[in-house]
Amino acid sequence: MNWRLALFTVIGLIYAAALVGAGMVAWRFTDPQKSGLENAALPLLLAVALGVCSVMALWIRKDRVIGMIGIHVGLVVPIVGAVALAWRAWERLKQDGIGSPQVILLGICSVLGVFVFASMLRTRPPKEARTAEPAATDRP
């Protein structure tokens, strides 16, 4: 396995785990009279999507189409997620003010999403490695 592909997958899975943690914290800081799902849904949805895409990227040697979908959608999810989280933070900012834990948490996750996108873009496998046939030793 290519080390860049492994690093790409690890970065995606760590960010997915961080989003799950952020969703749990957002749920915890929700007013007890309201449902916490409203605050936790977006980070949890992004975590599932990025986790699936990160695992799909590992399949590039067995099924090139699934691997390429995993790599490219895995690149899009963090940046689209960062924009969606920033938008949600802006809406919460208007309601709760700057000191709200949800606003701070969403802002941190949004900035982290931009960094994850940049790091995944830098570590994705080079084009030659994505299109090359597996070596004879890689075959079963």
- Tens digit of each residue's pLDDT (9 = 90 or more) over 69-91: 999 999 999 999 999 999 998 98
- Residue 118, domain member (yes or no): yes
- Angle value at C-alpha 136, between 131 and 140, nearest 5 degrees: 100
What's the mean pLDDT in 42-53? 93
- Residue 140, domain member (yes or no): no
- Residue 75, domain member (yes or no): yes
What global pTM score does this model have? 0.81
- Residue 13, domain member (yes or no): yes
- Residue 10, domain member (yes or no): yes
Number of Cβ atoms within 10 Å of the Cβ of 100: 15
- Angle value at C-alpha 75, between 70 and 80, nearest 5 degrees: 120
pLDDT level of residue 133 (50, 70, 90 thresholds): low
What's the mean pLDDT in 3-24? 91
- Residue 136, domain member (yes or no): no
pLDDT at 137 over 70: no
The number of folded domains in the chain is 1
- Residue 139, domain member (yes or no): no
- Picking from 32, 28, 56, the residue whose alpha carbon sits closest to that of residue 43 is 28
Q: How far is CA 79 from the centre of its chain?
A: 8
- Angle value at C-alpha 122, between 136 and 51, nearest 5 degrees: 75
- Structural domain containing residue 62: 3-130
